């Protein structure tokens, strides 16, 4: 039987993965050179969206980059480029 703490952690993991999947699907639809405004796609929680995209980039999805002020995300490539 699972305790309340374990269930809470499991819910957070599922939500974390879902948020990243939604962000990736949205960004993957952009053409190369296409940009989206963070405030327009993440009206409820722009900071969460920024963190999700940062995590994606940190985990090898180098096809995306932020503007210097983190207000826009741009697709810079069509393929994944794994840094070695």
CATH code for the domain in which residue 58 is found = 1.10.10
Domain tally, the chain: 1
At what angle are helices 46-58 and 4-28 packed, to 10 degrees? Answer: 80
Distances (CA, A) of 78 to 6, 7, 43, 61: 39, 38, 27, 11
d(CA 22, CA 41): 11
Has residue 84 been placed in a domain? no
Has residue 23 been placed in a domain? yes
Q: Which domain holds residue 27?
A: 4-75
> What angle (nearest 5°) sits at the alpha carbon of residue 41, between those of residues 20 and 23?
15
pLDDT (mean) for 64-82:
84
Per-residue pLDDT band for 15 (boundaries 50, 70, 90) equals low
Asked if the model's pLDDT at residue 79 lies above 80, the reply is: no
């Amino acid at each position: 039987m699972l305790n309340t703490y374990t269930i809470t952690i499991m819910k957070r993991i599922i939500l974390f993965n879902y948020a990243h999947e939604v962000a990736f699907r949205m960004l993957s639809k952009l053409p190369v050179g296409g940009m989206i405004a963070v405030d327009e796609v993440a009206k409820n929680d722009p900071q969460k969206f920024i963190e999700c995209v940062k995590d994606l980039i940190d985990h090898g999805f180098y096809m995306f980059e932020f503007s210097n002020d983190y207000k826009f995300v741009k697709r810079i490539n069509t393929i994944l480029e794994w840094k070695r």
